[in-house]
């Protein structure tokens, strides 16, 4: 049922060739292609391993990075029921309470909104041709290696299953977001090995990886530093910073590409 794609590609490239003499149009096309590569809407693979190494360095292969030696979060949805993804709005909140020994208590909250005001005009939301109208989702949450799941929301179709891989701890579950409603799922887990010595100081790094093929989505990150910690350097600059009994740094990012957060502090 997707045989038409080859014909579409051929038409696109034919049209591109006719526009090659138009420098302004060519510039716009190359700009769109570059953005699509950077944001993982297009991914590249070559038979030549040397080319693959170069593509990996540029971040154009869609390669999943390891969750070893630093904190890590990648939220991956797989729509198992219909074609409603363009009408689903997802937001992720990540809270981490770091301890002096480098361990942490983490909480990842994933919010879904499936509004009728958007879906009603979405041609992909059509039960007659595209399956059930509700959003039936296999959710995977990739976390750092050696994560221990403490608790999970009960509004899932089955209890989360934890899979250990050589590079990640993957929490997998099934969930449904009914049409014209919202759902929120929360995972609480313990992490270790996400802080490293950095000279006489300590360095915490978090890699937020984007799911290929998805639009940019808001991610809110709140990191509470260990008791007595003093911030030396932070990248990127936090959206907010609070000091009560301990220092808390808040970051707000649009996950159009993979993002790193780095905090260097002393005890």
pLDDT tens-digit profile, the chain (267 residues): 567 888 888 887 787 777 766 778 778 888 988 999 999 999 999 999 999 999 999 989 989 999 999 999 999 999 998 889 999 999 999 999 999 999 999 999 999 999 999 999 998 888 777 778 999 999 999 999 999 999 999 999 999 999 999 999 999 999 999 999 999 999 999 999 999 999 999 999 999 999 999 999 999 999 999 999 999 999 999 999 998 889 999 999 999 999 999 999 998
Do 138 and 27 fall into the same domain? no
Give the residue carrying structure tokens 């990886």.
Answer: 209
Write down how long the chain is.
Answer: 267
Please state whether 40 falls in left (phi above 0), alpha (psi between -120 and 50) or beta. left
- Domain CATH code at residue 197: 2.60.40.3680
Within-domain flag for 64: no
Q: Give me the pLDDT at residue 1, please.
A: 59
In a domain, 174, yes or no: yes
Q: Tell me which residue range forms the domain holding 142.
A: 71-266
Structural domain count, the chain: 2
pLDDT reported for residue 20 = 67
pTM score over 0.85 = yes
Classify 110 as helix, strand or coil.
strand
User: Is 238 a domain residue?
Assistant: yes
Q: Is residue 63 in a domain?
A: no
Tell me, yes or no, whether 66 lies in a domain: no
> Residue 123 carries which DSSP code?
T
Say how far residue 4 (Cα) sits from the centre of its chain. Answer: 30
Are 29 and 139 in the same domain? no
Residues 12 and 107 placed together within one structural domain of the fold? no
The verdict on residue 198 lying in a domain is yes
Tell me: do 131 and 83 sit in the same domain.
yes
d(C-alpha 178, C-alpha 212), whole Å: 24
Q: Are 215 and 175 part of one and the same domain?
A: yes
Q: Are residues 34 and 112 in the same domain?
A: no
Structure tokens at 130: 């595209």
């Amino acid at each position: 049922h997707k045989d038409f794609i080859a014909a579409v590609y051929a038409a696109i490239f034919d049209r591109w060739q006719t526009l090659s003499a138009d420098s302004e149009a060519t510039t716009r096309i190359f700009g769109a292609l570059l953005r699509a590569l950077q944001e993982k809407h297009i991914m590249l693979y070559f038979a030549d391993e040397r080319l693959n190494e170069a593509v990996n360095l540029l971040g154009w292969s869609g390669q999943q990075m390891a969750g070893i030696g630093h904190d890590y979060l990648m939220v991956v949805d797989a729509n198992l029921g219909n074609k409603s993804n363009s009408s689903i709005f997802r937001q992720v909140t990540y809270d981490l309470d770091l301890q002096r020994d480098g361990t942490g208590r983490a909480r990842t909250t994933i919010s879904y909104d499936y509004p009728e005001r958007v879906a009603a005009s979405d041609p992909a939301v059509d039960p007659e041709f595209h399956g059930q109208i509700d959003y039936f989702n296999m959710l995977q949450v990739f976390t750092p290696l050696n994560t221990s799941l403490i608790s999970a929301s009960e509004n899932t179709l089955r209890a989360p299953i934890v899979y250990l891989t050589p590079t990640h701890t993957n929490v997998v579950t099934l969930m449904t977001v009914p049409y014209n409603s919202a759902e929120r799922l929360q995972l609480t887990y313990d992490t270790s090995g996400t802080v490293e010595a950095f000279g006489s100081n300590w360095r915490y790094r978090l890699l937020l990886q984007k799911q290929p093929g998805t639009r940019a989505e808001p991610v809110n990150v709140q990191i509470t530093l260990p008791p007595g910690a003093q911030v030396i350097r932070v990248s990127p600059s936090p959206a907010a910073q609070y000091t009560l009994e301990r220092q808390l740094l808040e970051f707000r990012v649009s996950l159009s590409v993979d993002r790193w957060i780095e905090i260097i502090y002393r005890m």
